[in-house]
Amino acid sequence: MKRIELEIVALSHSITQTHSYAVVLGEVNGLRRIPIVIGGFEAQAIAVALERMNPSRPLTHDLMKNFMLAFNVELHEVVINDLQEGIFYSQLICSGANDTVEIDSRTSDALALAVRFGCPIYTYDTILDQAGVLMEDDGKKKKESNITSITTEQGGSDDLKAMSLEELNTLLNNVLEQEDYIKAIAIRDEIKSRGK
């Protein structure tokens, strides 16, 4: 089986399931995408790492990374190695002082760790064929932003557009205090789009 390298190209609310998110993995130098439904906590963990935010206390995946580094365990790569009944299965390829180990992982947790370690994400051609979506090539290579289409639960991004800059800054401070980094990213992006 041929291995294909993937990268995170988008993170958004899931259209198919309420209170869930979708992370979209894209084939490096290719047009195929894999959307994977993940939970809110995992989406937040991925978003925090992608946006290089520094929470006041370590999140679970930060703790895991710190624990691994304290015991000289390095994460080399994540492999999405199986797809059964719509559920993706992954492995963490790690090494310690004496050997390399493959550890079973939920894909959402594996992705959150991959972002923190800066390691590559792979899958197999057969999984891309089975679950991938082919994006149309319009002749122009477009670089997608890492985080797209994140909206708040109180409403969509249109609600943010209706708010004043002062209201947005107040809301941003409130969601940061609640450590809701997914909402914080959407608010910050709206503030940035206004030229501030």
Tens digit of each residue's pLDDT (9 = 90 or more) over 138-168:
533 333 333 333 333 434 444 788 888 888 8
How much is the pTM? 0.71
DSSP structure class, residue 163: S
> Does residue 106 carry a pLDDT above 50?
yes
Q: Pairing state of beta strands 20-27 and 3-13?
A: antiparallel
CATH number, domain 3-134:
3.10.690.10
Residue 182 CA to residue 150 CA, distance in Å, equals 7
Element (H, E) at 144: none
Q: Break the chain into its structural domains and give their ranges.
A: 3-134, 157-193
Assess contact for 1 and 122: CB atoms under 8 A: no
Residues of 51-63 as b/e, b for ≥16 C-beta within 10 angstroms? bebeeeeebebbe
Q: Which long-range contacts (CB under 8 A, 24 or more apart) does 83-90 make?
A: 83/127, 83/130, 83/131, 88/34, 88/36, 88/127, 88/131
For residue 128, pLDDT over 50 is answered with yes
Residues 19-61: pLDDT tens digits?
678 888 999 998 888 988 898 889 889 988 988 888 888 889 9
Residue 27 pLDDT: 93
Contacts of 170 (CB under 8 A, 6+ apart): none
Give the H or E element holding residue 131.
helix 125-131
Which regions of 28-183 does DSSP assign to beta strands (E)? 32-39, 74-84, 87-95, 100-106, 121-124, 133-134
Taking phi over 0 as left and psi of -120 to 50 as alpha, with beta for the rest, 194 belongs to alpha
Q: What is the DSSP letter of 146?
A: S
- Contact between 26 and 9 (Cβ < 8 Å): yes
Contact status, residue 59 vs residue 42, Cβ threshold 8 Å: no
186 pLDDT band, cuts 50/70/90, is confident
Q: What pLDDT is stored for residue 151 in this prediction?
A: 38
